[in-house]
Amino acid sequence: MTAPEISTIHWRTSSFSGNNGTCVEVAALPDGHIAMRNSTHRDDGTILFTHAELNAWISGVKDGEFDDLAS
């Protein structure tokens, strides 16, 4: 997708995100990929994932595999 196309999609943040701008934004793209970006640095780039890749990462988060990164 080009930058103009990405700017027209619906981005979402977690309800756990505060008002201080510490958010990761996600969006479902028309081609089936999931896009992620940093809400405070939107122009720094967007990472694209397949559903399988995102599901694997979410499973790891739920299992506590990345807890040390949030401490």
pLDDT-flagged residues of the chain (< 70): 1-7, 21
**Neighbour-count burial of 35, counting CB atoms closer than 10 A to its CB (0-12 exposed, 13-18 middle, 19+ buried):** middle
Number of domains forming the structure of the chain: 1
Q: Specify the pLDDT at position 47.
A: 93
Per-residue pLDDT at 70 = 85
Q: Give the per-residue pLDDT at 49.
A: 95
Element at 58 (helix H, strand E): helix 51-62
Question: pTM for this one?
Answer: 0.75
| pLDDT at site 58 | 94
pLDDT, tens only, 21-40: 678 899 999 899 999 998 88
State which residues form the domain around 48: 3-70
